[in-house]
Amino acid sequence: MQTYLDLIREVLTEGRYKPNRTGVDTIASFSAQYTVDLTAGFPLLTTKDLSGFRWNSLLHELIWYISGEEHIRTLREHTGIWDAWADSEGQLDTAYGRFWRRYPLAAETLAGESWAGPDNPWINDDGTFDQIRYVLDTLRDDPHSRRMVVSAWHPANAAVSTLPPCHYTFVVSVQGDALHLHLTQRSGDVALGIPFNIAAYALLATVLAQRSGFRLGSFGHTIVDAHIYCGEADRGEWYASHLDGLQDRLQSATEPEEIRSVAAWVEGTAPPERQQDFDHVPGLLEQLARSPRSRPQLRVEDVAIDDLRVEHIQLEGYDPAGPIRFAVAE
């Protein structure tokens, strides 16, 4: 998908060196934004292979969000990403789906404020608010509303959470007969996280459009801190003094072999990595040198959203380039 390759080039050519909490340094860019036409096929990257375990884990993760579960018991067999953030009992102190489906209401309110009461159709039995049900009902009853906003961010939770939500809010918008979805993300790992985010929210848009009778439109994405991990210790610090050289070389590199020569310059000049694959720059340059292939198609069975399972979702015609390994910075 060319849009994703443009993002890689934008961050590498315009970003700045930025250490962070993980101990793996980054090249980071402020406020990346793009729109993906979802009518042109499903936006699963074809410049690296995301089939098999990766696709399976993406599906289980999105269905886990939709379920509203905050325990990772249903994820452990299919993805190991969340174990690092769960306690010994498998509970998360921030879970996207928990806020999507059971957002807590204020315990105390100020004079004049309006809050949904117990008779409201979107209030759950435990007194929380179901944002997904609210969106589906609004798509049915008032589809031109500009208030179909879903938030996974609660300030009092985020302030003390081990990992506050990265992709923290999305808005559904109907234009004509097409449903569009815009995601805002405070922080995005370009190599690993963003490809999953694009595909997951494109799938969510598909599910919402199908269940509300609208055709599929587009996916808009804003990433406040779009970053590329560039290694630990000496390897990461090398970019602080050599980023200008990387950017100068990449600015004039347009052909695949020219881009690969930039990657070779990095590998031949930078100190060796202490741990393999924490520097994502060479792998992303390899992706940048590859041409996007035709997008696959997605088939989703028309079942109720709460009944949606992995077996109801089929990916067809996916023919990606070979895999590229990136280590996860936690």
Q: Where are the alpha helices (DSSP H) in the chain?
A: 2-14, 53-67, 96-101, 131-141, 155-158, 193-212, 233-251, 256-269, 281-289
Three-class SS state of 299: strand
Q: In the structure encoding, which two tokens stand for residue 266, read together? A: 């990095």
Q: In the structure encoding, which two tokens stand for residue 15, read together? A: 């970003």
The single residue of 166, 202, 207, 253 carrying the catalytic annotation is 166
Q: Does an H or E element contain 25, and which?
A: strand 24-37
CA gap 93, 157 in Å, rounded: 8
CA gap 166, 153 in Å, rounded: 9
The answer to whether the beta carbons of residues 246 and 266 sit under 8 Å apart is: yes
**230 is annotated as an active-site residue:** no
Residue with structure tokens 């992995």?
A: 310
DSSP state of 166: S
What pairs with residue 179 in β-bridges?
174, 216
The answer to whether the beta carbons of residues 233 and 274 sit under 8 Å apart is: yes
CA gap 218, 206 in Å, rounded: 10
Residue 236: name the closest of 26, 74, 72 by CA: 26
Residues with catalytic roles: 166
